[in-house]
Amino acid sequence: MSLALERLLEGPVEDVAPGLLGLRLRTELPSGPTEVLITEVEAYAGGRDPASHAYGGQTPRNASMFGRRGTLYVYRSYGIHWCMNIVTGGPGDPSAVLLRAGRALIGADVMARRRGRATNLTDGPGKLTQALGVTGDADGSTVWDGPVRLLQGPEPRGQIIASPRVGISKAVAWPWRFVLVE
DNA sequence: GGCAAGATCCTCT
DNA sequence: GAGGATCTTGCCA
C-alpha cells in the first residue's frame, strides 16, 4: 500500500474527490488485465449528505461505506448495473467517492468483450464498473490489496471542472461532480 | 408482506 | 427524446 495514495483520501470528501481525478484504476482478472484513468467522480458525504446511501445510517447494503479508508463500496443500481465507490471517511464517517467515468489505458479489447460492445466502454458509472469486471464480489475489499487497485496517475493532470451531481433527487445543487478535462 | 423508488444503460422512434 | 429492463432496499400496513 502506498502511503502517499492513502493520504490522498484524507480530509473532507468534497476535497478528496477531485484529487482522485487523473489517478489510475487497475484490475487483474482471469478475463484479462484492465486499467483506466479516472476522469469523472462524485462526492457523497455520508451522514451529512441527504443524497448519500449512508444518510439514513448503516444497513447491510451500505455496510462497506462504514469500513476503513480505501474500502470499495459496490452496489446494484436500478437492479441491473453495478456502481463502485471508494470510501474516504475514517471511522464513523461513511463518506465515499462514486467513480463515474474513465479512459481506457490498458485492455480496451478486454473491456469491449465484457461490455459486449466496442464503443462507450467507460463513460458512465455502470459501464466503468462493468468494463473493469467489477461486481458485488468486490464490495468490502480495499483498493490497496483487493481485486481493484488504485495507482498513481501520470503527470501533469488536465483541468478540473466542478458541476452538480447526476441522477439524484436530494441536495441536487451541490457542485460535487468533478470532471477531468484533458 | 406489499409497494414505490432508485447515484443507470440500451434500444427504438 | 422516450421508455423499458430488472431487483434490492426501506417504509408502511
Does A156 have pLDDT greater than 80?
no
Determine whether the distance from the CB of A81 to the nearest atom of strand C is below 7 Å. no
Instruction: Measure the CA angle with vertex A79, ends A75 and A85; round to 5°.
Output: 20
We find that the CATH architecture of domain A3-181 is: Roll (3.10)
CA of A29 to C1' of C5 (A): 28
Q: Kindly determine whether the C-beta of residue A120 is less than 7 Å away from any atom of nucleic acid strand C.
A: no
The number of residues in chain A equals 182
Give pLDDT tens digits for A8-51. Answer: 999 999 999 999 999 999 999 999 999 999 999 999 999 899 99
Residue A2 beta carbon within 7 A of nucleic strand B: no
**Range from A27-31, A40-44, A79-83, A168-172 carrying the lowest mean pLDDT:** A168-172
Per-residue pLDDT band at A169 (split at 50, 70, 90): confident
| pLDDT over 90 at A143, yes or no | yes
Q: Name the closest nucleotide to A80, judged by C1' and CA.
A: C6
Q: What is the DSSP letter of A149?
A: E
Closest CA to A127 of A51, A137, A118: A118
pLDDT at A1: 67
Confidence of residue A56 (pLDDT cuts 50, 70, 90): confident
Nucleotides of C under 7 A from a protein CB: 5-11
Q: What is the pLDDT of residue A35?
A: 98
Q: A60 beta carbon < 7 A from strand C?
A: yes
Note the pLDDT of residue A126.
Answer: 96
Question: How far apart, in whole angstroms, are the C-alpha atoms of residue A104 and residue A46?
Answer: 29
List the one residue out of A91, A87, A105 whose CA is nearest residue A38. A105
> Residue A49 is which amino acid?
D
Nucleotides of chain B within 7 Å of a protein C-beta? 5-11
- At A2, the pLDDT band (50, 70, 90 cuts) reads confident
Sequence spans of domains, chain A: 3-181
Indicate if the pLDDT at residue A82 is higher than 90: yes
Mean pLDDT of A145-151: 96
- Cβ of residue A120 near strand B, that is under 7 Å? yes
The per-residue b/e assignment along A41-63, b for 16 or more CB within 10 angstroms, e otherwise, is bbbbbbbebebbbbbeeeeeebe
Q: How confident is the model at residue A3 (pLDDT cuts 50, 70, 90)?
A: confident
